[in-house]
């Protein structure tokens, strides 16, 4: 049996394409990757490239069979010969399609359909070129099977393996020459032969896997052609498409399992948060506390944590300190050097506190009435992350700067980690919009001078879900809902509103009201006049994978990887600015690299402004964006206090 039968042209073209993309998977991205991460990126990229190329070449094979019957060949030409030449014609015809697709101008705001058409054309052109080469080489190798034992032995070699490895070597060498020296990990630059070694391992494994996949597709093709309409090749194409779909399903399930393991224990409670915590650590101004309409049991783990971690107007009595909590005074008077004006109000309605959105909104409004939240100087509407977490530093900073004269209101919309809560965005949007409209309706009856300043805070998926409440409204949305100011940190790329307000010539977006920055120094650099006009600020670290990852990476180059990207700068204590110059957009590769970057950005680490960790940034941004009182000395003391509180929180809750 010839090699062409064992590993056919589609499989060998897939092997060649997989080998070619392997070196690029080792290029640096936003985060440093472990060997497990690198294996994930390389495996998913090469596997997806192989299957996509195989599917494209199989489609050309099916068309080539029909084209071969139409070619003006001499009588008696075998059907195999006609099929071979017909496929070669289709492959060659696809090459100019790919060239034309690559010349289609790229626009940052272009529809995804235009990007997908460009990528489809490029994929067909690249597959056509490799398929034409492989068909010619395969025909030459096949002819050697008639030249004795040696010829048959040579003819059995899957020629795509050495061809793919040679192509990978050329691509890797060129990539390293084009990569400027930068700090950070580039696996292949540190060890020049690593890219080639990885290509050899991956292509070798893929070659073995292709035997099994080819055999399965051939058997299913033969079976399908016997029991249903359609040729064997058509059914084989369907089988390959099924393999690609199975890979997608498998990756999705593995990712879900991985994220669930990372967030293992999300529904467990720490001993310090048992039933006694309600009376020991909360109070009448806290949801879940004495007299609250929200039961302690319905808060969930994140709700209970939120309830006990407010900034107190007086120190916690020594007898009430949880075991393991160090001595210290982090009360409002101690930190601010001024007496507290009031005990902060914290309204938190858990997902289990009400069966429907309407019930939870009604309960939140009832809690606001019970605690008289309307009388406070600042009303902070916080949209939590997927698990229900609200950043303690953000709420504590507001409580310190207002001397306790504030109220925070939070509605939980999911109990799952953010990556697993994307299907809850629409519920969260409806819930936030309903609550905020009800609050606006109530405040209209309050004299302007007596109204609280209404501010919004959202982190990660909480930023997405709060911005979605005014989707398609631009900056007019928060204004219409009576929201005076807003701070969003780590906004996911999936937030359409964040892209809308960055667009040009939008009648509903005032660019003077909004800014997107990497750090506080960038905000200061805007100048006093521009800062005075700002109302809505998006704080997004340039190296935060959460703010960069999106499905659009499969089809088009994002603007942050364009030629006008800012150069990378290290500016401690802020998160690094800019994007590595060596980082390039590569279909599939960049998608999987950014997927790993998103995962790595959310791994808990040291207290520093980095990737998806915005804790050290918050005190200065809270004071500035919400326009709260406080001297620079008080700001420094708040920054120290919230960091110390964060260390205590980690001791108690991890």
Cα–Cα distance for residue pair 8/160, rounded to 1 Å: 10
Cis amide leading into 573 (omega within 30):
yes
Q: What are the residues whose beta carbons fall under 8 Å from the beta carbon of 532, sequence distance 6 or more?
A: none
- On the question of pLDDT at 539 being above 90, the answer is yes
- Contact between residue 496 and residue 471 where contact means Cβ atoms under 8 Å apart: yes
Average of per-residue pLDDT across 84-112: 83
For 521, the 3-state DSSP assignment is helix
Grade residue 504 by pLDDT with cuts at 50, 70 and 90. confident
Residue 128 has pLDDT above 70, yes or no: yes
Two tokens at 538? 């998006």
Cα–Cα distance, 189 to 186 (Å, whole number): 5
Angle at which helices 589-601 and 232-262 cross, to 10°: 20
Q: What is the DSSP string of 250-313?
A: HHHHHHHHHHHHHTTTTT---GGGSTTHHHHH--TTBTTSTT-SS-GGGGHHHHHHHHH-SPPS
Q: Is 288 exposed, middle or buried (0-12, 13-18, 19+ CB in 10 A)?
A: buried
Q: ∠ CA(86), CA(92), CA(98), 5° rounding?
A: 135
d(CA 288, CA 452): 24
pLDDT at 177: 72
Q: Domain residues of the chain, as ranges?
A: 3-229, 271-278+287-313+327-541+614-653
Maximum mean pLDDT: which of 8-17, 521-530, 645-654: 521-530
Nearest to 501 by CA among 454, 456, 537: 537
Report the range out of 122-126, 152-156, 275-279, 449-453 with the highest average pLDDT.
449-453
- pLDDT average, residue stretch 337-357: 96
What 3 state SS string does 608-621 have? Answer: CCECCECHHHHHHH
Q: Which residues contact 203 (CB under 8 A, 6 or more apart)?
A: 15, 18, 19, 22, 46, 161, 164, 165, 168
Q: What's the mean pLDDT when you consider all of the chain?
A: 85
Work out whether the CA dihedral 496, 499, 501, 506 comes out positive or negative.
negative
Return the SS3 of 131.
helix
Q: At 386, phi and psi to the nearest 5? A: -55, -35
Band (270; pLDDT cuts 50, 70, 90)? confident
- Tell me which residue of 260, 25, 18, 50 sits closest to 163, measured CA to CA: 18
Q: What is the pLDDT of residue 138?
A: 63
pLDDT value for 563? 84
Looking at per-residue pLDDT, the higher value among 258 and 583 belongs to: 583
Helix, strand, or coil (residue 501): coil
Proportion of the chain above pLDDT 90, given as a percent: 45
Contact indicator for 489, 517 with CB cutoff of 8 Å: no
- The continuous run of DSSP H or E covering 470 comes out as none
What value does the mean pLDDT take over residues 305-312?
95
Asked whether 623 and 635 are in contact (CB, 8 A), the reply is yes
Q: Using DSSP bridges, classify how beta strands 536-539 and 453-459 pair: parallel, antiparallel or unpaired.
A: unpaired
In this predicted structure, what is the pLDDT of residue 366?
98
pTM: 0.85
Dist. CA 104–CA 117, nearest whole Å:
10
pLDDT at 202: 61
CA atoms within 13 A on the CB side of 138: 26
Residue 198 pLDDT class (50, 70, 90 cuts)? low
The tens digit of pLDDT for each residue in 378-429 reads: 999 999 999 999 999 999 999 999 999 999 999 999 987 787 788 889 999 9
pLDDT at position 262, please?
A: 45
- DSSP strand E in 444-593: where? 453-459, 485-489, 514-517, 536-539
Tokens encoding 441: 């309706």
Between residues 441 and 99, the one the model is more confident about: 441
| DSSP single-letter state for residue 632 | H
Any residues with CB less than 8 A from the CB of 442 and at least 6 apart, and which? 365, 374
Q: Taking the C-alpha atoms of 537, 543, 546 and 551 in order, what is their torsion angle to the nearest 10 degrees?
A: 110
Could you report the per-residue pLDDT of 159-193, keeping only the tens digit for each?
666 676 677 677 767 766 766 666 655 555 555 45
How much is the pLDDT for 325?
Answer: 77
Query: SS3 breakdown of the chain: % helix, strand, coil, rounded to 5?
Result: 60, 5, 35
How far apart are the C-alpha atoms of 246 and 451, rounded to whole Å?
56
If pLDDT is split at 50, 70 and 90, which confidence band does 2 have?
A: very low
Say yes or no to pLDDT of 196 above 60.
Answer: no
Q: d(Cα 84, Cα 72) in Å, to the nearest integer?
A: 14
What pLDDT, on the 0 to 100 scale, is given for residue 156?
53
Scanning 160-231, the segments in alpha helix (DSSP H) are 160-178, 187-190, 194-227
Position 528 scores a pLDDT of 94
How many beta carbons lie within 10 A of that of residue 620, not counting itself? 20
Q: Contact, 244 vs 51, CB < 8 A?
A: yes
- Of 301, 304, 300, 302, nearest to 289 by C-alpha is 304
Q: Compute the Cα dihedral for 78, 81, 83, 85 and give only its sign.
A: negative
Do the strands 406-411 and 453-459 form a parallel or antiparallel pair, or are they unpaired? unpaired
Q: What integer is the mean pLDDT of 540-552?
A: 94
CA pair distance 27, 316, nearest whole angstrom: 52
pLDDT score, position 362: 98
Answer yes or no: is pLDDT of 242 > 60: yes
CA distance 412 to 296: 14
Burial class (CB in 10 A: 0-12, 13-18, 19+), 489: buried
Q: What is the mean pLDDT of residues 19-26?
A: 82
3-state secondary structure 41-98: HHHHHHHHHHHHHHHHHHHHHHHHHHHHHHCCCCCCCCHHHHHHHHHHHHHHHHHHHH
In this predicted structure, the answer to whether residue 5 has a pLDDT above a threshold of 50 is: no
* pLDDT tens per residue, range 54-97: 888 888 888 988 898 888 888 888 888 888 888 889 999 999 98
Of 317, 333, 492, which Cα lies nearest the Cα of 400?
333
Contact criterion met (CB below 8 Å) for 69 and 82: yes
Per-residue pLDDT of 146-162, as tens digits, reads 555 554 554 555 566 66
Residue 31 has pLDDT above 80, yes or no: yes
Residue 365 has pLDDT above 50, yes or no: yes
Q: How far apart are CA 467 and CA 483, in angstroms?
A: 12
Q: Cβ contacts of residue 92 below 8 Å, gap of 6+?
A: 128, 132
Q: Reading across the β-sheet that carries 485-489, which strands appear in turn?
A: 345-349, 406-411, 378-383, 453-459, 485-489, 536-539, 514-517
Residue 199 pLDDT: 47
Residue 123 has pLDDT above 50, yes or no: yes
Q: Which one has a higher pLDDT value, 476 or 111?
A: 476
| Rounded distance between C-alpha atoms, residue 217 and residue 579, angstroms | 43
pLDDT more than 70, % of the chain: 86
pLDDT at 346 over 70: yes
Q: pLDDT for 568-611, tens place per residue? A: 889 889 999 999 888 889 889 999 999 999 999 988 889 999 99
The token pair at 307 is 């309830």
Q: Residue 525: what pLDDT?
A: 96
pLDDT(3) > 50: no
Q: Are 206 and 18 in contact (CB under 8 A)?
A: yes
């Amino acid at each position: 049996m010839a090699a062409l039968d064992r590993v056919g042209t589609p499989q060998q073209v897939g092997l060649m394409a997989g080998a070619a993309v392997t070196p690029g998977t080792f290029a640096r991205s936003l985060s440093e990757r472990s060997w497990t991460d690198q294996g994930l990126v390389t495996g998913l990229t090469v596997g997806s490239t192989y299957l996509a190329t195989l599917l494209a070449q199989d489609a050309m094979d099916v068309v080539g069979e029909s084209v071969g019957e139409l070619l003006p060949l001499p009588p008696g030409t075998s059907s195999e010969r006609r099929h071979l030449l017909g496929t070669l014609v289709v492959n060659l015809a696809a090459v100019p399609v790919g060239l034309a697709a690559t010349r289609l101008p790229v626009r940052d705001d272009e529809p995804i359909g235009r990007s997908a058409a460009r990528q489809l054309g490029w994929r067909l052109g690249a597959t056509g070129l490799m398929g034409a080469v492989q068909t010619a080489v395969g025909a030459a190798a096949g002819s050697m099977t008639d030249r004795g034992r040696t010829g048959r032995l040579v003819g059995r070699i899957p020629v795509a393996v050495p061809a793919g490895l040679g192509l990978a070597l050329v691509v890797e060498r060129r990539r390293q020459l084009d990569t400027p020296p930068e700090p950070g990990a580039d696996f292949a630059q540190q060890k020049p032969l690593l890219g080639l070694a990885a290509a050899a391992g991956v292509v070798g494994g893929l070659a073995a896997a292709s035997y099994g996949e080819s055999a399965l597709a051939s058997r299913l093709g033969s079976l399908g052609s016997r029991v249903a309409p359609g040729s064997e090749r058509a059914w084989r194409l369907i089988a390959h498409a099924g393999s690609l779909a199975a890979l997608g399903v498998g990756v999705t399930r593995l990712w879900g399992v991985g994220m669930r393991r990372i967030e293992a224990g999300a529904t467990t409670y720490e001993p310090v948060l048992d039933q006694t915590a309600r009376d020991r650590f909360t109070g009448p101004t806290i949801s879940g506390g004495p007299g609250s309409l929200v039961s302690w049991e319905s808060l969930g783990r994140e709700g209970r944590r939120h309830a006990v971690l407010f900034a107190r107007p007086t120190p916690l009595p020594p007898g009430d300190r949880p075991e393991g909590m160090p001595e210290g005074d982090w009360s409002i008077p101690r930190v601010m050097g001024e007496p507290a004006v009031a005990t902060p109000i914290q309204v938190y309605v858990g997902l289990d506190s009400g069966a429907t959105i309407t019930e939870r909104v009604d309960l939140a409004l009832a809690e606001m009435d019970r605690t008289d939240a309307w009388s406070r100087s600042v009303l902070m509407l916080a949209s939590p992350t997927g698990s229900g977490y609200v950043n303690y530093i953000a709420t504590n900073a507001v409580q310190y700067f207002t001397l306790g004269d504030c109220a925070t209101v939070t509605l939980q919309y999911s109990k799952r980690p953010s990556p697993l809560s994307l299907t809850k965005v629409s519920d969260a949007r409806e819930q936030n919009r309903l609550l905020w409209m009800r609050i606006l309706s109530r405040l209209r009856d309050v004299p302007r001078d007596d109204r609280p300043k209404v501010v919004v805070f959202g982190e990660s998926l909480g930023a997405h879900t709060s911005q979605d409440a005014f989707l398609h409204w631009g900056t007019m949305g928060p204004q219409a809902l009576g929201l005076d100011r807003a701070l969003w940190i780590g906004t996911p790329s999936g937030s359409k509103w964040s892209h809308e307000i960055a667009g040009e010539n939008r009648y509903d977006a005032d660019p003077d009201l909004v800014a997107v920055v990497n750090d506080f120094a960038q905000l200061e650099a805007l100048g006093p006049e521009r800062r005075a006009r700002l109302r809505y600020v998006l704080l997004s670290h340039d190296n935060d994978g959460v703010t960069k990852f999106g499905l659009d990476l499969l089809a088009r180059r994002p603007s942050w990887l364009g030629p006008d990207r800012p150069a990378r700068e290290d500016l401690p204590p802020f998160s690094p600015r800019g994007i590595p110059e060596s980082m390039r957009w590569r279909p599939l590769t960049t998608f999987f690299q950014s997927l790993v970057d998103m995962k790595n950005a959310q791994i808990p680490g040291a207290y520093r402004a980095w990737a998806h960790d915005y804790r050290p940034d918050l005190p200065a941004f809270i004071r500035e964006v919400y326009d709260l009182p406080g001297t620079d000395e008080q700001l420094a003391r708040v920054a120290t206090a919230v960091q110390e509180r964060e260390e205590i929180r980690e001791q108690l809750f991890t």
